[in-house]
Amino acid sequence: MKKIFLNMYLKKNLGDDLFLNVISKRYPNIGFYTNTPAKEIKCFHLKNIHGRSFISRIINKILPSTKNIRKYDASVVLGGSMFIENNLTKNELKENIEKKYNTSSPLFILGANFGPYKNNYYNDLHKELFSNANDVCFREKYSAELFKDLKNVRVAPDIIFGLDAKKYEIKAEKKIIISVINLENRKELSKYQKSYESKILELAGYYADQNYEVVLMSFCKAEGDEIAINRILEKAKSENIKLFYYCGNINEALNEIASSEIIIGTRFHSVVLGLVFGKKVLPIIYSKKTTNMLNDINYKGKTISIADMEKLDVKNVENYLYNYGKTDKLSAGSKQHFAKLDESLKEDK
């Protein structure tokens, strides 16, 4: 069995956990190895996904990551926001890239967007990394354009557009899902925290008064979604407002979304899943990655930015809801992320 090192964000985030499910089921005869503790991987019940033991993680901290990666047949970087600039200096960033990635064996970068970034050296150092990869397939045209002179750079719709929605019971119950994020620790967005949460509360109350079942949904506990929801619930008056905390229960989360009528989504993948399941959607924009994705798919509906949330008149929110229609072409296109990896592994699907 071939072994692949999997570089992912695995902190019980619904979007990233869906990526993990996709690659596991696409390549059932490949062993995937992550730096995530083995006990945390067990909850996914995926036989070909492996985590690190406690001793292995200690060794990994002592030795550069690339020394550990070299024992694998290839490495795959899989995820959305995998290349966001931090506060590292140029030398620190260069050292970090050298430790984190290994280009001496096949490297595949799939499903990501690039940025946001401010310093040109961040772009330049990653361009060098990408140029040495076997394949780089971004999920948005904006990121691909940044590296358009690299012949190994491609673009395809987000991987989750390839989700087989037919496996779930799609209904249109009188239910609305509102995906909430925590702005408290997001430097450029924290100033909008109170107005954002106040408007979410107002939206929840409005639909509760219309006898909708309102579900405030957390996609990632580690990033504070639950904290924000708890603050909102403390002020809620209606008993029709409920909560759903994702904690690795993927099928339960997807069934919750599949049975709803409306998705008001802040999380990137709450919007994607709303489109996949054919729901009426209102995207709340907190990052350009959502805007870029919607532009790429020629989305005709309205959106609202977090900065403008306080201007939203909830009584007119129906004018913002939009049903995109069929996503068959996006589904087919999303599978192109794996085209080069398929060739490399020569896996028979």
The one-letter amino acid at 175 = K
| Gap between the Cα atoms of 164 and 250, Å rounded | 13
pLDDT digits (tens, 9 = 90+) for 230-253: 999 999 988 889 999 999 999 999
Query: Are 106 and 208 in the same domain?
Result: no
For residue 114, what is the DSSP state? B
Q: Tell me, what CATH number does 227's domain have?
A: 3.40.50.2000
Q: What is the dihedral of CA 86, 91, 97, 98, to 10 degrees?
A: -160
Burial of 185 (0-12, 13-18, 19+ CB in 10 A): exposed
| Gap between the Cα atoms of 349 and 339, Å rounded | 12
Given a contact cutoff of 8 angstroms between Cβ atoms, the answer to whether 152 and 136 are in contact is: yes
- What is residue 346's predicted lDDT score, i.e. its pLDDT? 80
Given a contact cutoff of 8 angstroms between Cβ atoms, the answer to whether 17 and 44 are in contact is: yes
Query: Are 73 and 172 in the same domain?
Result: no
Question: Measuring CA to CA, which residue among 4, 186, 225 is closest to residue 105?
Answer: 4
280 Cβ neighbours under 8 A, 6+ residues apart: 261, 262, 263, 274, 321, 322, 323
Query: Are 203 and 149 in the same domain?
Result: no
Query: Are 152 and 175 in the same domain?
Result: no
- What is residue 92's predicted lDDT score, i.e. its pLDDT? 97
* Whole-prediction pTM: 0.95
Q: Tell me, what CATH number does 47's domain have?
A: 3.40.50
CA contacts within 13 A on the Cβ side of 348: 0
Query: Are 295 and 186 in the same domain?
Result: yes
Query: Are 137 and 262 in the same domain?
Result: no
Query: Are 18 and 67 in the same domain?
Result: yes
Quote the domain boundaries for residue 26. Answer: 3-162+331-345
In the chain, how many domains are there? 2
Query: Are 132 and 191 in the same domain?
Result: no
Distance of CA 125 to the CA centre of its chain: 24
- What is residue 349's predicted lDDT score, i.e. its pLDDT? 45
Binning pLDDT at 50, 70 and 90, where does residue 217 land?
Answer: very high
pLDDT digits (tens, 9 = 90+) for 256-294: 999 999 999 999 999 999 999 999 999 999 999 999 999
Q: Can you tell me the mean pLDDT for 26-39?
A: 94
| Helix 268-276 / helix 288-296 crossing angle, nearest 10 deg | 30
Query: Are 340 and 292 in the same domain?
Result: no
253: part of which helix (H) or strand (E)? helix 250-258
Query: Are 235 and 217 in the same domain?
Result: yes
- What is residue 348's predicted lDDT score, i.e. its pLDDT? 43
Instruction: Give Cα separations from 308 to 142, 195, 270, 338 (angstroms).
Output: 24, 9, 20, 38
Query: Are 140 and 270 in the same domain?
Result: no
User: From the CB of residue 84, how many other CB atoms can be counted at a distance below 10 Å?
Assistant: 14
Binning pLDDT at 50, 70 and 90, where does residue 58 land?
Answer: low
| Gap between the Cα atoms of 243 and 228, Å rounded | 12
Instruction: Give Cα separations from 87 to 7, 91, 117, 118 (angstroms).
Output: 21, 11, 10, 10
Query: Are 180 and 153 in the same domain?
Result: no
- What is residue 103's predicted lDDT score, i.e. its pLDDT? 81
Q: Give 337 or 55, the one with higher predicted confidence.
A: 337
